[in-house]
A and B are shown apart, each in its own frame.
Chain A
């Protein structure tokens, strides 16, 4: 049968963001694939070499624009390892609340982008409606809707606003009700199950060897999570364990497992936020002014030459990491080298290969289930 290369080009409804997937097709079956990345490569690593440690946070917000808060914190933890800074307890709690709300928002954006790929456009709008709730919460913390520039080396920019805890609890309670609506519309629809089950099989060991981590790995039956494997922040003080899904086939997790893992993860994140609001030192109702030593400790501005710091962080899509070397221009105020590990830069080539053997109509189902975010991929 004649095989032909199809270019699912940079502008394509399936690709969330700008990247190309060249697919060799034999009739309806995928025979070979080739991803082509780099369409929004902005050279963030080069630009950060000419920025101070605090000026780099906005660039890290704009890396993965769907989960800006998690990426800014991923950078800040590495910078704190580089500059050897202690973070006060309350600041760690505020950071945890902000990142877990952002994780729910990011998973909501994934669900909203994934369901039109399979055909159900109603869920896209429901997810945007509920995402607005959480955007309002983070807008109170960071000031703007999408990029917050919220964490600082040594703490956070400002404390939880007054009344934040009450609004946050109300919105999370409403969201947990709405999550049942999504599951009613997706889990109980045979068409959705038929389109996602048994499609896009990826085994746990193959994924780890290929560098795929996060919810995509936990869907294959192992509850490995950087938040407890290499603990940071106050995750170990909360009664929490990562969401894990039993794989549906011996060959590993399919799209339905990844969907189930993310739905559970949203619930776990909501519970974590509620628990953190109860346990936050100083009480959720009190508000400390910016720069107060309860929420931000003093941090040096310069890093000596030859010093380096790195930190593995659990982003919504996998394990993200920053490797910083100090001693750049301005007598060390700028970093010498910033290296960013993007989970999706490693996952997309792996997923492109797992599509071999499935149908054309499965391509969006498989690629969408891995939650690609091209902003962080191209850096």
Chain B
């Protein structure tokens, strides 16, 4: 599975030879190898973070735009041009004259040229306020992409207002607990066989362990903000994330059992060389992973911890300014990390889809399988998974907290154990190690290519459809999912005895 873009190796070899030749003969010569290693590692980390942040910028644009389009709205149209177009013709005047040493003149010239070419003075209409409502910006100006940058930068200029009686130490620490653990996950996620920050033997264990730290920070944030809403939000978050951590880990265990290793790169290599993606071998696992990941990153329908309806903003009500900005970015980083994990586990990471079919198309096959680097495939698959996340957010309401926990413990946990058993059976009985190299490990010796994944996929789809058909035409009297301490409805509403005095509510 040689992907031509081996970034890590290039970096190391290039720096190694450069430093050796440069430091040859100087006292530092024998340290050249070590310095090359350090420099290569940092550059690899920077490139991996760069790819991740580019993806993050993309999803922060795609989510609001796609959701707005589903809502029949135009969505964001702020584009680069708004930097020099100002407001409806009102601009900040010749502000560059204030830059010392006359260094502002080139900026002024650039501003004038940009306004002439595509700004106030040009024929390209910028986004007017009201009169051309239907116009939503030229495509090449990436309408809406810049909005996330504007939101992010705005948080920097906001005043930091911690609540007076908050537990200041934990109030300050918990956002960084969440943000740092989220950024740390990127270190273990490979984007291609040659692009990764670090590739330890058990990288899956590392990644999921770090993924589980953030709920602790969420609970601390909720508790320390000295606000009843955030307290309830924090407790809900703690309960929900523990309820969904276990099915998630068991599902991932199933994948690792099937692929035979705890290393991301080996899992992907196994999927490629064995000839079938885990999606086809463990469709139940794919479904479980998506559901538990939506719950892990607290998105609708598992949105209870920050349910705007009753908890104002949930656990981050008391955070404003840059702390809230970073928490907001951290939430989307966790979503993006979840999408990449899903792509790597189930959709065969950086291996091109339909490799076999496209392979025998001559030039197109060569471009498809070899010329397109693995990173592009990983990103495309992650974006596809992200569309599922946004689709779920746009169409489903929130599930109540006790129903989330009930669903997690009573349905997902047994299902994930069943999925683990399926993985073990597939690995032991149907897997043929001889065909590993030639991509025919799953054809069951009959030569019919990947017989097993096809059968597994068809069987599980059939089971799913059979279960989802609702036999009884008129449904029984509606199911009740309300389990309350005091049976609901027993309180005779409006009975005069009800206490209606203002009482101890601290009214003025």
Contact = CB atoms under 8 A, between A and B. Distances in A.
B423 interface: no
A125 B482 contact: no
Contacts of B307: 119, 361
A235 interface: no
A281 interface: no
Interface stretch (B30-38, B129-137, B489-497): B489-497
A159 B477 CA distance: 48
A118 B398 contact: yes
Given A189-B397, A191-B301, A354-B493, A363 B478 contact: no
A115 interface: yes
B502 interface: yes
Interface in B207-225: none
B244 to A, nearest CB: 16
B482 A195 contact: no
B13 interface: no
A202 B310 CA distance: 21
Interface string B468-508: 00000000011111101111111111110011101111100
B323 to A, nearest CB: 21
B398 A119 contact: yes
Nearest to A118: B397
Contact of B397 (A119, A129, A199, A359): A119
Interface residues on A, range: 35 or more
Contact of B310 (A14, A115, A122, A251): A14
Given A122-B395, A357-B484, A34 B72 contact: no
A356 interface: yes
Contacts of A27: 485
Nearest to B495: A353
B87 interface: no
Contacts of B300: 119-120
Contact of A189 (B310, B395, B492): B395
B479 A359 contact: no
Interface of B is mostly: loop
Nearest to A368: B309
A125 B72 contact: yes
A364 B398 CA distance: 12
A353 B398 contact: no
A360 B478 contact: no
Interface in A328-379: 349-350, 353-354, 356-364
A129 B72 contact: yes
Contact of A256 (B395, B478, B485): B478
Contact of B489 (A14, A210, A350, A357): A357
A86 to B, nearest CB: 40
Contacts of A354: 489, 491, 493
B345 to A, nearest CB: 26
A309 interface: no
A353 B491 contact: yes
Given A29-B484, A249-B489, A13 B309 contact: yes
B110 interface: no
A14 B494 CA distance: 22
Nearest to B300: A119
A14 B309 CA distance: 5
B428 interface: no
Interface stretch (A3-11, A69-77, A140-148, A311-319): A3-11
A195 B70 contact: no
B484 A201 contact: no
A195 B309 contact: no
A359 B402 contact: yes
Contacts of B482: 198-199, 358, 362
Q: Which residue, of B309, B312, B481, B482, has the highest number of chain A Cβ atoms within 10 A? A: B309
A5 B263 CA distance: 50
Given A12-B312, A34-B505, A248 B478 contact: yes
Interface string A186-218: 000101111101110110001001100000000
Given A26-B485, A201-B489, A353-B491, A13 B308 contact: yes
A102 B208 CA distance: 54
A197 B479 contact: yes
Contacts of B500: 34, 349
Contacts of A248: 477-478
B427 interface: no
B158 interface: no
Contacts of A201: 488-489
A192 B397 contact: yes
A115 B488 contact: no
B282 interface: no
Contacts of A5: 504-506
A198 B488 contact: yes
A252 interface: yes
Contacts of B477: 248-249
Interface of B: 67, 70-73, 228-229, 232, 300-301, 303-304, 307-312, 394-403, 477-482, 484-495, 498-500, 502-506
Interface of A: 4-8, 12-14, 22, 25-29, 32, 34, 115-122, 125-126, 129, 185, 189, 191-195, 197-199, 201-202, 206, 209-210, 248-249, 251-252, 256, 349-350, 353-354, 356-364
26 contacts: A27-B485, A34-B503, A119-B397, A119-B398, A120-B300, A191-B398, A193-B478, A194-B479, A195-B400, A197-B479, A197-B480, A198-B481, A201-B489, A206-B492, A209-B494, A349-B500, A350-B494, A356-B491, A357-B489, A357-B490, A358-B488, A359-B484, A361-B400, A362-B400, A364-B309, A364-B310
Given A120-B397, A194-B479, A209-B494, 16 more contacts: A5-B506, A14-B310, A25-B232, A116-B309, A119-B398, A194-B399, A197-B480, A198-B478, A206-B492, A356-B491, A357-B491, A359-B402, A360-B311, A361-B307, A362-B400, A364-B310
